Chain A
Amino acid sequence: EVKLVQSGGGLVHPGGSLRLSCVGSGFPFSERHMDWIRQAPGKRLEWIGRVQTETSDLSTHYAASVSGRISISRDDTDSSMYLQLDSLKIDDTAMYYCARADQDGFDLWGPGTMVTVSP
């Protein structure tokens, strides 16, 4: 079965950090760019970043809204991708999805993991 499984998340205090994981299976993980997309409650989807494949030098690209606070990495030996987001704010409260990139879109999504930033 082709799928993405996510872990991490939960309640975090403002100023804290989060680290989320995403594991792919059923497809050649190393051959696909991977992304993180989030959705605040009642809001639209927001792309926050990408890690490209090793053949693309593992380049990362980040949204301006999180630039400077975000780091995305991958470990193809484990078919895993990671999101680190620091200096968390209340506005970072959202469901975080990992997604597999397909050219200019996203053809496979994880189930999501909720992150709540609260005092």
Chain B
Amino acid sequence: AQSVAQPEDQVNVAEGNPLTVKCTYSVSGNPYLFWYVQYPNRGLQFLLKYITGDNLVKGSYGFEAEFNKSQTSFHLKKPSALVSDSALYFCAVRPYSSASKIIFGSGTRLSIRP
């Protein structure tokens, strides 16, 4: 079965510290990987994606993510957290097949304290 796992329901970080939000996946073939963010009472916004090439991808708002094929992980990172980064983050995978749904993780709530 194809799935995405976000093992942490909540991550708490002090402002200015680095943050990591974890994601692992299980799909057949080569997946395309995505991170989305949801601010309170808002829809989901695309942050970044991995398609191929460099394992470190950069996205919006200073976020980046590292693809690790051997560990089937795609962790979201930011060198210095901001209070405004507090939101709900979703990891997602879209299998290589063209006719396929997007599979989302359960979400991780990121809380940045001043």
User: Are A and B a genuine interacting pair, yes or no?
Assistant: no
Q: Which residues of A contact B (CB under 8 A)?
A: none
Q: Which residues of B contact A (CB under 8 A)?
A: none
